[in-house]
Amino acid sequence: MTNKELLQIIERDAREKATVLSLHNKKLSRLPPEISQLSNLTKLFLSNNPQLSSPPPEIVEQGTQAILTYLRARLEAKG
Protein backbone atom coordinates (compact mmCIF):
# COMPACT_ATOMS: atom_id res chain seq x y z
CA MET A 1 0.00 0.00 0.00
CA THR A 2 1.38 3.39 -0.91
CA ASN A 3 1.50 6.34 1.45
CA LYS A 4 -0.97 8.17 -0.81
CA GLU A 5 -3.45 5.27 -0.61
CA LEU A 6 -3.10 5.16 3.16
CA LEU A 7 -3.70 8.91 3.47
CA GLN A 8 -6.84 8.55 1.32
CA ILE A 9 -8.13 5.86 3.69
CA ILE A 10 -7.40 8.11 6.67
CA GLU A 11 -9.26 11.03 5.06
CA ARG A 12 -12.26 8.83 4.24
CA ASP A 13 -12.35 7.32 7.72
CA ALA A 14 -12.11 10.77 9.31
CA ARG A 15 -15.17 11.89 7.33
CA GLU A 16 -17.03 8.72 8.30
CA LYS A 17 -15.94 8.97 11.95
CA ALA A 18 -14.54 5.45 11.86
CA THR A 19 -13.96 3.64 15.14
CA VAL A 20 -12.00 0.73 13.61
CA LEU A 21 -9.16 0.80 11.10
CA SER A 22 -7.83 -2.48 9.76
CA LEU A 23 -4.41 -2.22 8.14
CA HIS A 24 -3.33 -5.84 8.55
CA ASN A 25 -1.29 -7.40 5.78
CA LYS A 26 -0.70 -4.09 3.94
CA LYS A 27 3.12 -4.32 3.76
CA LEU A 28 3.50 -1.12 5.77
CA SER A 29 6.88 0.09 6.97
CA ARG A 30 5.55 3.08 8.91
CA LEU A 31 2.28 4.66 9.91
CA PRO A 32 1.68 8.29 9.01
CA PRO A 33 1.12 10.52 12.04
CA GLU A 34 -2.14 11.68 10.44
CA ILE A 35 -3.80 8.52 11.76
CA SER A 36 -3.83 10.24 15.16
CA GLN A 37 -6.39 12.67 13.73
CA LEU A 38 -8.99 9.89 13.66
CA SER A 39 -10.54 11.07 16.90
CA ASN A 40 -13.15 8.29 17.09
CA LEU A 41 -10.67 5.46 16.51
CA THR A 42 -10.78 2.80 19.22
CA LYS A 43 -9.26 -0.19 17.40
CA LEU A 44 -6.30 -0.26 15.04
CA PHE A 45 -5.32 -3.61 13.55
CA LEU A 46 -1.75 -3.88 12.25
CA SER A 47 -0.95 -7.61 12.19
CA ASN A 48 1.12 -9.11 9.38
CA ASN A 49 3.16 -6.00 8.63
CA PRO A 50 6.63 -7.41 9.39
CA GLN A 51 8.43 -4.36 7.98
CA LEU A 52 6.59 -1.94 10.28
CA SER A 53 9.22 0.08 12.15
CA SER A 54 7.30 3.23 13.07
CA PRO A 55 5.76 3.13 15.55
CA PRO A 56 8.28 0.77 17.15
CA PRO A 57 7.13 -2.74 18.13
CA GLU A 58 7.12 -1.92 21.85
CA ILE A 59 4.54 0.83 21.20
CA VAL A 60 2.43 -1.38 18.91
CA GLU A 61 2.36 -4.09 21.59
CA GLN A 62 0.74 -1.61 24.01
CA GLY A 63 -2.32 -1.23 21.80
CA THR A 64 -4.32 1.37 19.94
CA GLN A 65 -4.19 4.20 22.48
CA ALA A 66 -0.40 3.96 22.84
CA ILE A 67 -0.03 4.00 19.05
CA LEU A 68 -2.28 7.06 18.74
CA THR A 69 -0.39 8.87 21.51
CA TYR A 70 2.92 8.12 19.77
CA LEU A 71 1.61 9.29 16.38
CA ARG A 72 0.02 12.42 17.89
CA ALA A 73 3.40 13.38 19.38
CA ARG A 74 5.05 12.85 15.98
CA LEU A 75 2.41 14.98 14.27
CA GLU A 76 2.84 17.80 16.79
CA ALA A 77 6.63 17.66 16.36
CA LYS A 78 6.13 17.91 12.61
CA GLY A 79 3.88 20.96 12.82
Mean pLDDT, the chain cut into blocks of 10 residues (79 residues total):
88 93 93 92 94 95 96 88
Domain count, the chain: 1
Look at residue 2 in the predicted model and tell me its pLDDT.
Answer: 85
- Alpha helices, H only, the chain: 3-15, 57-60, 64-78
Domain range enclosing 45? 3-78
- For residue 72, the Cα-to-chain-centroid distance in whole angstroms is 10
Question: Which pLDDT score, from 0 to 100, does residue 3 have?
Answer: 82
Q: Which residues contact 42 (CB under 8 A, 6 or more apart)?
A: 19, 20, 64
pTM of the model: 0.86
